[in-house]
Amino acid sequence: MSATDWYAHKSLENGVFWIQERFYESRNRANIWLIRGSHQDVVIDTGLGLRSLPEYINSKGLLGDYSKRKNPLLAIGTHVHFDHSGGLHQFQQVGVHKAEVDALANGDNFETVTWLSDREIVEDPAPGWRAREYRVKAVTPTHILQEGDVINLGDRQLTVLHMPGHSRGSICLHDRENKMLFSGDVAYDGSMIDWLPYSRISDYICSCERLVKMVDKEEIDQVMPGHYNTFGSKRLHRLASNYIASAGACHRASTCLVKSIASLALRASNSRSAC
């Protein structure tokens, strides 16, 4: 299957493109965001990486007149979980938060929580492809990101916000001028996942408190999440507030149990994949 078949995209306002993997039918299917700038273009998250994302972007002319850009396309992972980081190895420039650099550079499929089934891939990307053989490929990041870093696209800037909880290196990218938040898995219109190996409820609460403050200060109008559909500031406020309110003792106890089971299952699954 070609890259042009595997992906599909929608053009949004302000030079933003929404890309998805057409034949990955799962709640884990991540949104891929392409943002065009006058001097730098950025891809936020890269999906599974089963087909070439750069090839698709180029074949569809999504970068416009690329010759005017000063720098190669930069791919940023909001975190290194497999559904967001699988295609990072396809790019010359790669950025992730410093807390997850080693996981990506070492191809750590435990920390990337690689868990893919054949039934989620409804059209095989290549003859004989099997989900059990899928692995996130190691790549050494060229950009080690941390809180407060500014990614300059020329006519717009993206500020890195370290928002751990879902994973230890989770980030959001904030376009302050346009009041857009690319939130990764920190916040999307669904249940927040805090039971993975490097999740931490106390960190997630702090991140949600920060999101609430940003909404109260009218710094966010639109959220471009890691999964599902876009939404506005009121919905973000409600999602973050609900998580804070629900993260009590009972939630912590049940999450601890689920986290232990998930960790064991992931280790077993990735041990088999490595054989």
pLDDT in tens, the chain (275 residues): 899 999 999 999 889 999 999 999 999 999 999 999 999 999 999 999 999 999 999 999 998 776 566 678 999 999 999 999 999 999 999 999 999 999 999 999 999 999 999 999 999 998 989 999 999 999 999 999 999 999 999 999 999 999 999 999 999 999 999 999 999 999 999 989 999 999 999 999 999 999 999 999 999 999 999 999 999 999 999 999 999 999 887 888 888 888 888 888 888 877 644 43
Copy the structure tokens of residue 13.
């306002």
Cα angle at 143 between 142 and 145, to 5 degrees?
A: 155
For the chain, the straight-line distance linking the first and the last C-alpha, in angstroms and rounded, comes to 27
Copy the structure tokens of residue 195.
């039971």
Give the up-direction half-sphere exposure of residue 81: CA atoms within 13 A in the CB hemisphere.
Answer: 27
d(CA 240, CA 153): 29
d(CA 169, CA 161): 10
Contact 45, 136 (CB under 8 A): no
Q: Classify domain 3-271 by CATH architecture.
A: 4-Layer Sandwich (3.60)
Reported pTM: 0.93
Q: Sign of the C-alpha dihedral, residues 106, 112, 118, 123?
A: negative
Burial of 255 (C-beta count, 10 Å sphere; 0-12/13-18/19+): middle
Query: In sequence order, which residues have a C-beta less than 8 Å from that of residue 254 and are 6 or more positions away?
Result: none
What 3-state class would DSSP assign to 158? strand
d(CA 216, CA 212): 6
d(CA 134, CA 109): 10
CB-CB neighbours of 26 under 10 Å: 16
